Every structure is written in C-alpha cells, then in structure tokens.
Chain A
C-alpha cells in the first residue's frame, strides 16, 4: 500500500473532502489534491462537471446567468472493471 492507495481507500470509505483526507493521512491538502490529480490521470477517479447543466440548459439563451458557480472540483470514483479490484 502507498499513499495513492490510501487516498483511494478513504474516498471509497466515504470521506468527502480532500481536506478531511489530508487530516486523516497527516498530509497537506495540496499533496492530497495532487494525488487525486494523479489518480485522475491514471483513470481511477473522474472529474464531474458541477455546473455543466447550465451550458446545456434550454433556457440558456433567455437566461444567461442564474447558474450558481461552485469553485472547487468533484472527483468521482470510476466504475471500471479493470480498476477497483
């Protein structure tokens, strides 16, 4: 087991912010965020666009801006047969 595994494991357990993961593993938040990015590029987690429905909203033309903008990102565990074993 290594740090990447540890982070992945905590995500699976339901720890929901990189900050909490950092506290649990005694790492810095930057490091955990970095690990998540590496996990993303390895295909273990996937970024979910939180405000993407605003781009495809049928009212977009007449309603340019009622969309709430989240800063921050959400990464979801990828359900792939190869991974997750």
Chain B
C-alpha cells in the first residue's frame, strides 16, 4: 500500500481545471487498490463535507494529461439508507464526475451489476467498467465474453487484476479518452414489468417540463418516487407542490396494493432478474460447479448431530495439543519457581517475611504463572479456531441447539463469547430484543467455562489425570454446557418467550490460519493473564498466605483459613471436598485462578512440582479433583461477571444468578461425587 505516506494536497485552482474521475463500486471490490494504481503516490485523504466518511482524492497522469480521481464510498446500491450511499449518490447526481469508473468484482458479478444498473438508471453516460479480481473469477471457473459484455452493457469493460496491476494501463487509456469525449456509450437500462413501467411513464409525464428535467434524469426520479425515497420525495415536492405529489403518492399506493408489498423490493427483484438475464449472455461457466472442500467439511461440522460431536472433538484436540506441548514447559516453570523460591529464601532472615515472599508470593503467583505456557497455547489454539473460520460453524451448531432448548437463537452470541470471558458475553445479551430472553441468557451464561476457568480445569486435569488429561477437560466442558442448556430448559418454563426477529448467518470460507496472527493475538490475550497474575492473584495470594499462617501456621487447626474452611467443610464434604477446597473456592470468587494459587500456598509450592502433585494426590482422589474442577466451573461467577449481570439486569438478577449457580454446583457436586463413589472411582 502506498496510501499512507503522501499528503500532497491538490491545490484548489488546479482542481477546478481538471477533469474528474469518480470511482464507484461495492465495498471490497478493490476500489482502493485501483485508486492507488491510478494515482500512485499523488493522493490526499480528507473527509466528505460535514461527515466523518473518508474522502480520497488523487491525481492520475496519462500522456502528460492530469485528471482528478475521487474514491467514492463503497456501496451495494444507491438508495438513501446510509450516509455512504448518499455521498456516492449525490456525487454522481451532481454531475461533478466527468467519468464514473464502476469497479465490479468479477468473482461475484451479480450483486456488483446491481449497483451498475443503478448508476446507469441515473442517466450517467460516461461510465467505464473495471472488471476487477478477474484472477479469482478465472480460478473459480468463470470466463467472460468481454466484447459481448461491452455490447450488452453499452459501456467499455476493462478486465483488471488490480493486485498485480494487470489491465490498469488500459483502464487509464479508456478513462482518459472518455473524459475527452472520444468514446461514446449507450448504457443499458433495466426494463420492468408493465404495471411498473406504466407508472414510471405516468410520473415522468408529470415531471417533464419542470425545472427538474434540466437537473436530473426523469426516469430515475420516477423510479425513486415509486420506492418512496424520502430524499427524492422532498426534492420533487419542492417543484411540483403538494397537489401533484398527492396524486403521485396515490398511484404508488395503488401499485403497492397490487403487488402486496413496498415497491422498492418489487423493483429490486425485477432489476435483479433483468441482470440475471443479461449475465447469461456473457458469462461462461466451465467445468462442473463442484462441491468445494469447504462445503464438504461443513457437511459434517454444521450437521445437526455430527456438529455437536465435532464441537466436542475440536475441544478435545485443542486440549490434547495444549497438554502435549504445554505440560513439560509448565513443569519446567513450576520447578524453576520452586528453585527460585529456595534461592530467595536463603537471603531472607526474617521468618515471616520469608514465608510471605516464598510461600505467599512465589508460591501463589508462581503456581498460577507456571500455567503461562498452557494458557498461551490455549489462546493459540483458540485463535487458530477463530482464524480458520471454525468459530462461525461452532456458532451455527450452538444456535441450533439453543433453539431446541428454548433459548432465542441469537443467544449463541453471548454463549460463544463466554468461552473467552463472561463479562463481554453478558453485555452481548443486549442484542436480544426481549427482556425475558435477555435475563434467561444472562442467568445461564456463567455456566459456560471462560478462559480463566479453563486454566483451573487444566491445572486439575494435569495434576490428577496423567493419562486422560484432555478427556477430563472436555468432559467438564461437556457437563457444563449440558447443564447450561438444561437450565435454560427448566428456567425457560417460568418465562414467557418473546418474539425474536429472524436472522441469517453468513459463514466465511475456511482459510489457513496465519501463525503470525495467532501468535500476536495470543500474546495480547496472554498479557491479560500475566497482568491478572501480577495484580488480583498477587493480592489474593498474599491474603491466602496470611490467612493460612496466622495466628498459627496451617496444620495446627488454628489458622484463619482452616477455621474458615472448617465452617464450610461439613457441607463441602457431601461432595468429598475438604476444608482446603472450601477455602480455595471462596478465594476463587474473586478470580477463578485463585483456586490454584490457594493450593500452591497451602501445599507449599516451595516444594518441587512432583512434591506438590504427590502431596495433592495423597490428599485428594481423582474423583475429588474432578468434582472440584466441576464445582469451580459452576459455582458463583467471578466478581467481574456478577458486576456485569448487575449492570445489565440489576441487583436482583445478580443475586439470583449467584444463588442459582451455587445451588446447581452443590447439587451437581454431591451427585457426581456419590455416583462416582458408587461406581468405584
């Protein structure tokens, strides 16, 4: 891109004398690329008057002649529905452009020609079509009979591959010649069904003879009136007066009754059909239109049943990848922190300070930090899933399930966002129109494990399930998601469903993820993990250390932590969790990673990794660890999430959500523990 570096302003006097070339087209067709190719470095970026839409101008040189090139905003049509459309439309209408270059994307020509027809209908004659991205069209098996296309459309067509610069010289030549009046054109105008044409003629007859005829194309005005274009109605009202306007509006209403809907869609349909017929004459498809690789994968991944298995499978692979590569690194870091702790301990004489630093800070924060490689890999995997286009498929699968469980379809947005963090996810419930739908979605949202809980799950899976780490992690996910859906089903019984406006999802093509993007993105996300370790987890660790060592050290039965934990122990023991787990869960409310920090401190990570694990393994069975992971995932949401629910739904729902989650976690914990015992785990 060359656009960044030049702010060379075009002097006003010079502008006046130059012929003006306007670039129009759909978004993303390569307008900017062509603009750059035409103007080189000689360009200026500003704003369109009165609005913050970017306006690019530049000078194109062809055989010693200079032309002023203006890049219009990309639009799909020229209605008055958006600022971009109005800017493009008014610029073309004003007659400021000596030549309009309509850039169309050859790989999806249909929608592009829709805009072309709108330009033609405005009565603009000097139009050149740049048939861009011709390379992509060719790859997809589409050829164009350009000569025929020119004849049928009535304007010059220049195939281009702007990315490579192919065709640009020819485009310049044609533009220059047209600007100098050396090329005559005869743009094709869409023809509509008889009732529409009759009304266009009727309105046109009323407009003829007025000053409007001098300024605008009468047919265009008539068509726009039929579509009830507010801008045009205002304009025409000024010249015709309310009497004639009423007559026109009456006719329009009759026609709307005839077609049983607004005429804008009727006209758009007919225009579309008109283009369809034209295209058949100059577009040649060769080769079978075969199912693409993307289609084949989607047949499985968005399948109603396999899709769910696919989703779990993808998560399994994700964890497998993370554990396989990450565990050795994590162990290494853990041991490093332990040695570092021992090393530091040698320098600190004061026993209390030494305890605080070595056991509290290094032990607590270190045990969380040692997960950095796993977290980073998790984020890499997530990023790859996003970049490849899989997340959109996951969304489709989730959407279908959500609807089955009585949730509004669009609640898949907060549900998928929750895999990252519940806070923006809760905020995203705003996209749901209905209050009750919103509350329902908010209540079950915390049940989706966020990335912080992913860390805890990873920790416990790593410590207790040496052979089946990934399986254990995925089953926690599966159970949580299932409970979220079940909750929706149950809670949904108590709320009356609201109306939801239908929607449609466009799936992106699968693409090979870029490693660079993945690494940069994951680093961004991991930084947050590091920051959290340095703040909330650090403070939490210091607090946990204090509570575990005062007034008497842990094990004496007198420390605050033990006392606190023992209060809850009778209850948590129902699910096999001792006071240590109870304490860790309490600290986990602040940030779920604190669950790990607590274990790090209580079991003294001053010991090495193996020592910690063997200590923990002697204190907890696999079943207990599984229950702990599950309960950590399900119980009271973290403080930030409760805050988000409060902000979106008020105190009442924040309380209900916390209470509901706590109850659910307890019930599930007790159930899973006892079933597990029965099964002999």
Please indicate which of the listed interface residues B107, B261, B268 has the most CB atoms of chain A within 10 Å of its own CB: B268
- A62 to B507 Cα, complex, angstroms: 31
Q: Which residues of A contact B (CB under 8 A)?
A: 1-5, 8, 11-19, 21, 28-31, 33-38, 40-45, 48, 50-54, 56-59, 62-79, 82-83, 85
- A12 to B391 Cα, complex, angstroms: 24
| Contact pick for B82, options A41, A51, A69, A73, CB 8 Å | A41
Residues on the A chain within 8 Å of B272, using CB: 2-4, 35, 38
B26 CB–A CB distance under 8 Å: yes
B531 to chain A: closest residue by CB: A62
B505 CB–A CB distance under 8 Å: yes
Residues on the A chain within 8 Å of B349, using CB: none
* Stretch of B122-130, B203-211, B521-529 that contacts chain A: B521-529
Q: Which residues of B contact A (CB under 8 A)?
A: 26, 75-77, 79, 81-82, 85, 107-108, 110-111, 114, 228, 256, 260-262, 264-265, 268-270, 272-273, 276, 289, 295, 298, 302, 379, 382, 386-387, 389, 391-392, 395-396, 399-400, 409-410, 413, 416-417, 419-421, 423-425, 427-428, 430-431, 450-451, 501-508, 521, 524-525, 527-528, 531-532, 640, 644, 647
Contact between A68 and B416, CB atoms less than 8 A apart: yes
Contact between A41 and B420, CB atoms less than 8 A apart: no
Contact between B265 and A42, CB atoms less than 8 A apart: yes
| Contact pick for A77, options B111, B382, B399, B501, CB 8 Å | B501
Contact between A66 and B451, CB atoms less than 8 A apart: yes
Contact between B76 and A41, CB atoms less than 8 A apart: yes
Contact between A85 and B268, CB atoms less than 8 A apart: no
B393 to chain A: closest residue by CB: A72
* Contact of A72 with B503 at beta-carbon distance under 8 Å, contacts A3-B272, A41-B76, A57-B427 already known: no
A34 to chain B: closest residue by CB: B111
Residues on the A chain within 8 Å of B423, using CB: 57-59, 63
- A29 to B265 Cα, complex, angstroms: 21
Residues on the A chain within 8 Å of B268, using CB: 2, 4, 38, 42
- A18 to B56 Cα, complex, angstroms: 34
* Contact of A74 with B505 at beta-carbon distance under 8 Å, contacts A38-B272, A68-B417 already known: yes
* Contact of A34 with B302 at beta-carbon distance under 8 Å, contacts A66-B451, A77-B501 already known: no
- A33 to B622 Cα, complex, angstroms: 50
Interface residue SS majority, chain B: helix
Distance between A17 CB and nearest chain B CB, rounded to angstroms: 5
Residues on the B chain within 8 Å of A48, using CB: 410, 413, 431, 503
Shortest beta-carbon contacts, A-B, top 5: A2-B269, A34-B111, A72-B392, A66-B421, A65-B525
* Contact of A59 with B421 at beta-carbon distance under 8 Å, contacts A42-B79, A42-B264, A70-B395 already known: yes
- A3 to B110 Cα, complex, angstroms: 12
Contact between A70 and B265, CB atoms less than 8 A apart: no
A-B contact pairs, 20 of them (CB 8 A): A2-B270, A15-B504, A17-B505, A17-B507, A18-B507, A30-B108, A31-B111, A38-B77, A41-B82, A42-B268, A44-B265, A48-B413, A48-B503, A52-B428, A54-B417, A67-B420, A67-B421, A68-B416, A82-B262, A85-B260
Residues on the A chain within 8 Å of B265, using CB: 4-5, 8, 42, 44, 83
* Contact of A70 with B504 at beta-carbon distance under 8 Å, contacts A37-B76, A65-B528 already known: no
Distance between B124 CB and nearest chain A CB, rounded to angstroms: 19
